[in-house]
C-alpha cells in the first residue's frame, strides 16, 4: 500500500467517524469547551486582586484602564456564549478581532516569548473564524451511535 493510499484510507475513516451525528456533536462541544476556556479564565483572572495589575498592564501600552470592564465583559461574556453555543458566530467573530487587536497591542514585541503569545493569538483568531464561518455545531445527543456505524474496515 502506498503512502498516498494510507492517507486516503485514514482520511476516509475520519470522514466516516465525524459523519456520525453523536460524534460530530461531541466534537463540536469539545471544540467550544477548549476554545472558550482561555477567555473565561482570562476574564476571571482580571477580577478581584488581578484587576489593578491588568489596569496597570493596559496603561503600560498607553490604553486607559477604564476599558478593562469591557475587556472582562468580552472575555467572560464571549467565552460563555461560545461555550454554550449562544450567538456563536457573533461571539467568535468578536473574540477573533479581540485576539488580533490584543496581540498587536500587547504582544508584538521583539521578545521571543511575546512573539509566541502573538502567534498564539493569531492561531486562536483563526480557530474562532472557523466558528464564525460554521457556527456552534450540533448539540450532543445522549443516545450512543449504533455499533455498526463504528466499523472502519473496508
* pLDDT digits (tens), the chain, 154 positions: 788 889 999 999 999 999 999 999 999 999 999 999 999 999 999 999 999 999 999 999 999 999 999 999 999 999 999 999 999 999 999 999 999 999 999 998 889 999 999 999 999 999 999 999 999 987 765 555 555 555 544 4
Q: Is residue 95 part of a domain?
A: yes
101, 125 Cβ separation under 8 angstroms: no
Domain membership of residue 17 (yes or no) is no
Number of domains present in the structure of the chain: 1
Residue 81 maps to a domain: yes
The pTM of this model reads: 0.84
| Cβ neighbourhood burial of 80 (10 Å; 0-12, 13-18, 19+) | middle
Enclosing domain of residue 98: 22-136
Indicate whether 118 belongs to any domain: yes
Q: Considering the domain boundaries, does residue 2 fall inside one?
A: no
**Within a domain: 4:** no
In a domain, 104, yes or no: yes
CB 135 within 8 A of CB 92: no
> Which is it for the CA torsion 154, 138, 133, 93, positive or negative?
negative
The per-type count for the chain, helices as H runs and strands as E runs, is 7, 0
Amino acid at each position: 500500500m502506498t503512502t498516498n493510499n494510507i492517507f486516503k484510507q485514514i482520511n476516509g475513516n475520519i470522514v466516516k467517524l465525524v459523519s456520525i451525528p453523536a460524534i460530530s456533536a461531541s466534537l463540536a462541544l469539545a471544540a467550544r469547551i477548549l476554545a472558550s476556556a482561555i477567555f473565561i479564565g482570562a476574564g476571571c483572572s482580571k477580577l478581584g486582586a488581578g484587576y489593578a495589575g491588568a489596569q496597570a498592564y493596559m496603561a503600560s501600552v498607553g490604553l486607559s484602564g477604564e476599558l478593562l470592564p469591557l475587556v472582562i465583559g468580552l472575555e467572560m461574556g464571549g467565552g460563555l456564549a461560545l461555550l454554550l453555543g449562544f450567538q456563536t458566530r457573533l461571539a467568535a467573530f468578536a473574540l477573533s478581532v479581540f485576539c488580533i487587536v490584543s496581540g498587536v497591542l500587547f504582544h508584538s514585541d521583539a521578545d521571543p516569548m511575546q512573539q509566541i503569545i502573538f502567534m498564539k493569538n493569531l492561531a486562536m483568531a483563526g480557530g474562532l473564524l472557523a466558528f464564525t464561518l460554521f457556527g456552534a455545531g450540533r448539540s450532543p445527543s445522549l443516545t450512543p451511535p449504533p455499533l455498526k456505524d463504528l466499523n472502519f474496515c473496508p
